[in-house]
Structure 1
Amino acid sequence: MAPVRVGDVAELVSAHRHVLTLRHTRTEETHDVLLFRMASAAPMFYCMEARCPHLGASLERAALHPGLDDVEDLIVVCPWHQYDFEIKTGVSSTGLRACVYAVSIDAGVLYIEAPTADTEHGASVWTLAARRPITDAWAEPPPLPSRAADAPGTLASLGEAATFDPKTVPRPEPAPKTLVAWATLILRTPSPLHKVAYTRFAYDACAQGIPIGGGAWEHGAWVTPEDEQPPAWPPRMPDEQRVRPGHEGKRGKGGTERSRIALLHALANIEQWAIDLAWDIIARGARLSAQHMQTPTDPTPAMPMPRAFFADFCQVAYDEAKHFTLLQQRLLELGSWFGALPVHHGLWEAAVETSEDLFARLCTYAALTQPLCTSCTRPAAST
């Protein structure tokens, strides 16, 4: 189709959304479309029908939501009945489809595809009759969550240091007296900042030779002190946005700042669970290994795990805490923070199934935390 001239690109950057009224030069018929401008280094424009194909509601002030398949995409949501339309394709999850029109830029001038193929002397019979900017807040793409001090759920509102500095967290008093008690305390701690800080304290305590703990046999039963009993499910902060695995939204390819934040946030979620998985193995290791060694002739065997087993997983937890800290600090630099986006508990859901089998838990831990190849989604081969 012959394109319709809209105007110079420089004239269209003053607003994120314009209503364009097109007129058919033969019939005087008019047709309204919406022109969206996306905030990016280079101007990006999309054009869509100005009315919802469901019941004809105006989309002038329709909300823009992150895409379901890619955080770099956007979805136009009708204010009447919440019908959703992909801004690039017009496709809706309801089965309807809004008309979209191709946009092109030539020598600094923007053109859009005409509603019909009618031409006269090689040019479209459609011309631009009016162009009206939408200047209120509804016209702008949704920003990522702000780190403003008064925003609910931010680090500042939760009383945590905005710079995420674990060194500012004091040592708990009284401090745990065994490594398993440290593991249990960390597993019961919802604050990521305190979880990281306590991991560092526990790592130092392990290096200084703190007893392992974990319980002992009493009258034929393994008895674990209350401060060494790990939770079935580590708690999280009260404002956490929890979703089912696979429902947190795709994170894009890192081509925009929004996508990079989403990728870093997802990695931080993995690292936080990796901290808990390492401490959970330490917390359960003594009991599970002793119970595994039970036989009819030796119902109360000694706990067989060497100290090196616990020291190694303590090192793992320490490394995961370091990784989480680096990711959190980068998120803060980008104006976001861990907890600003939805997360899932898929890693822990898999661990729950193996909570009473040490060997199955070790296999699960290896599968869940194994690095992935950069070229595929299969676990990298061990070296």
Structure 2
Amino acid sequence: MNAYEVLKERGFIEQLTHEDEIKALFEKGGVTFYIGIDPTADSLHVGHFLTVMAMAHMQQCGNRPICLMGGGTGMIGDPSGKADMRKMMTVETIDQNVACIKNQLSRFINFDDGSAIIVNNADWLRNLNYIEFLRDVGVHFTVNRMLAADCFKTRMDKEAGLSFLEFNYMIMQGYDFLELYNRHNCIMQLGGSDQWSNILAGVRLIRSKLGKSAYGMTFKLLTNSDGVKMGKTVGGAVWLDPKKTTPYDFYQYWRNVGDKDVEKCLALLTFLPMDEVRRLGALQDSEINQAKEVLAFELTKIVHGEVEATKAQEAARALFGKGAIAGSVPTTELPAADLADGMDILTLLTTIGVVPSRSEGRRAVQQGGVKIGEQPVSDAEFKITANLFTDGKLLVQKGKKTFHNVVLK
């Protein structure tokens, strides 16, 4: 199967600029394409991972990926899908984020012998001559067409409006495509469906300025069966960095997805053959839990390696079997001195990150959703003392799915 057929069968494709031409290109293979990643954090998250998987499938089918780091565009911030302007980052923060993300990408994409490359648009955007840029590139953009883009229309209706800074983002991204075409013979841009307007801008710029063919493709966003974006928890985003989301928490997130979302996630986020994906997705009632375990294990294996995936799976099974494997679930060390006078339950829950706030912790306790050492706690003033620990360890549970080990030091 060629790349188009693989992506189509697995459910990635949302929109194409020139479907017949793109199909023909993939039948020949050897297409150089790019996906852009703005370094808004020092780690990729689950939303990014869908496009990374698409990139991996494309490479396996003989095409050449370019991973474009947004060291330049990151200084503006993409307004797509945002109700407010993004927080401005310093150059130092952006460059640090770029370095971290480059390291992560090498786990999923093969960069040996130029089979894929990483570039940074800071190389051509940070030192642009504004007048030359307007004359050279700005002339190919019409304000009318730009204002018709969904990402701009949404913001124009808001009281805060759209800053001129953000208005330039589309032009910058279009210019990225032009630069990659000229530098690396890149003829296609891929991205999430929220990037459609920006991708079209680059395709049109190349066709208008150079008279050459360029193409765009977007992928469906990772949403659940209710249309809500996946990859968010009470504690925030689900990150690929184990320091930000532990392998256990990562595993548990996928182990607990909705029944209706299992088959889609298996298709989009693992390399399992589609026959096996469909078989697992067809399981019903309690048997669907088998499919969820496979999803969680396969995805954790891709992101964190087989050893961590195995540890997370064994820990999850042990916890639900009334046991815990030390070191395999999230663990926080606390000085014994902090418990000398007793630590109230709400302070403990927020300190170890089981809840984001005291009010959230209070609700969980009052609703009977918190256990300390397998004993329910219903009093928000309950004090945690050292005598509750066994061999210096205490298991904290919130709800049916969140576990955390506390260790005295």
Q: TM-score range by the shorter chain?
A: under 0.3
TM-score, normalised via structure 2 length: 0.16
Q: Which structure has the larger Rg? A: 1
> Which protein is richer in helix relative to its size?
2
